[in-house]
Amino acid sequence: MSLVTLMGLGVRLGRHQALSHVDFSIDKGEIVTVVGPNGSGKTTLLRSIIGAQKPTSGKIVRAKGLRIGYVPQSLSIDATLPLTVNRFLNLPLRHDREVTEQALSVAGAQGLQERQMSALSGGQFQRILLARALLKNPDLLILDEPTTGLDQPGSAALYRQIEQVRSDLGTAILMVSHELHVVMSASDRVVCLNGHVCCHGTPEIVASAPEYRALFGSGTQGALALYRHDHDHHHHSHDSHSHEHGTCDHA
Ligand SMILES: Nc1ncnc2c1ncn2[C@@H]1O[C@H](COP(=O)(O)OP(=O)(O)OP(=O)(O)O)[C@@H](O)[C@H]1O
């Protein structure tokens, strides 16, 4: 059974139809990347899945007892506030030292406990957010644009870490990215959203292609992949976002 299934999900925000007719599901241990331009409803989709946004139409079915770990896109912490990594991980719930150490280790952030949150690099900060989400022992980890602000080697390293989480713990991963053509190569599926599911498919890793090398160089060890939009798909004619068959309207 899928961890989460969306059936014909529609979400209206004020007068804006953010999502229409979205059918989507994620299975145990799967890595799914959702791509889409700004304002395409990606955050609305995640908020619907975690239960923070009510659907206006359609249905969301979650597996019984499903535990979701959420890594927000950003979190601003007052730089003048003294807050160690260890204290941050123990807010609002205290955990045993071994538990936080284990989460930090899985997130690739061992040894950072006593560091100040404000002194962390962008990549370290993301790993701490990842460790914090892992403390819930999630079946599904949801990450909203986790590589925002990271350079390419930093993004590749974080993607490898996330892949490691899946192979160590079997956690399913749902990740959102505003990058339309560059995704985590370990994604089993890529779903392109534009108010509706525009197209979906697998990422392609063509590491030897000149196009890939021009984009990524050779320092990412295959952590990044090109996502080619699958243009061979149909759309519902009643969909307000629909576009001509055979095109992906933002590609
Ligand atoms: N309360 C609201 N009333 C009306 N429109 C809203 C409201 N909240 C969000 N929107 C609009 O809904 C659309 C979808 O927003 P959402 O944040 O889900 O998109 P997104 O794909 O995550 O975008 P981004 O990549 O910029 O984060 C946006 O165009 C946004 O302006």
- pLDDT digit string, tens, across residues 121-179: 988 999 999 999 999 999 999 999 998 888 888 889 899 999 999 999 999 999 999 88
Closest CA to 85 of 53, 117, 55: 117
pLDDT at 251: 45
Q: Which atom from ligand 1 is nearest to the alpha carbon of 40?
A: 21
Q: How far is the CA of 211 from the centre of ligand 1 (A)?
A: 32
Nearest CA to ligand 1 atom 12: 18
pLDDT of residue 9: 98
Q: Which of 16, 17, 145, 175 to mutate to test the pocket of ligand 1 (most atoms within 8 A of CB)?
A: 16
Q: Say if residue 241's pLDDT is above 50.
A: no
Judge whether residue 230 has pLDDT over 90.
no
Distance CA 159, CA 167 (A): 12
Give me the residue spans of the domains in the chain: 27-55+67-226
Residue corresponding to tokens 């249905």: 59
- The residue type at 112: L
Is the pTM higher than 0.80? The answer reads yes
Handedness of CA 145, 166, 130, 128 (dihedral sign): negative
Q: Cα dist. 147→62, 171, 244 in Å?
A: 27, 19, 32
Ligand 1 and 195: CB distance under 6 A = no
* pLDDT surpasses 50 at 108: yes
Confidence at residue 138, expressed as pLDDT on a 0 to 100 scale: 96
Q: How many angstroms does the Cα of residue 141 sit away from the middle of ligand 1?
A: 22
CATH class of segment(s) 27-55+67-226? alpha beta
Could you tell me which residue, 153 or 244, shows the higher pLDDT? 153
Query: Which residue's C-alpha comes closest to atom 10 of ligand 1?
Result: 13
Q: How far is the CA of 43 from the centre of ligand 1 (A)?
A: 7
State the distance from the centre of ligand 1 to the C-alpha of 42, rounded, in angstroms.
8
What are the Cα distances from residue 40, in Å, to 93, 104, 165, 176? 34, 33, 28, 11
CA of 143 to the centre of ligand 1 (A): 17
Mutate to test the pocket of ligand 1, among 43, 50, 54, 192 (most ligand atoms within 8 A of CB): 43
If DSSP codes are grouped into helix, strand and coil, which group holds residue 100?
helix
35: confidence class by pLDDT, cuts 50, 70, 90: very high
Planar angle of CA 142, 143, 147, nearest 5 degrees = 165
Going by CA atoms, what residue is nearest to atom 28 of ligand 1? Answer: 39
Q: Is the CB of 42 under 6 A from ligand 1?
A: yes
- Sequence-ordered strand ranges (E) for the chain: 4-13, 16-26, 31-35, 57-62, 68-71, 140-144, 172-177, 182-184, 189-193, 197-201, 224-226
pLDDT score recorded for residue 142: 97
pLDDT of residue 250: 53
pLDDT for the residue 59 = 96
* Angle of CA points 157, 160, 164, to nearest 5°: 140
Question: Hey, what are 91's tokens?
Answer: 């807010």
- Cα torsion 246, 181, 148, 93 to 10°: value is 70
Is there a contact between 133 and 19 (Cβ–Cβ < 8 Å)?
Answer: no
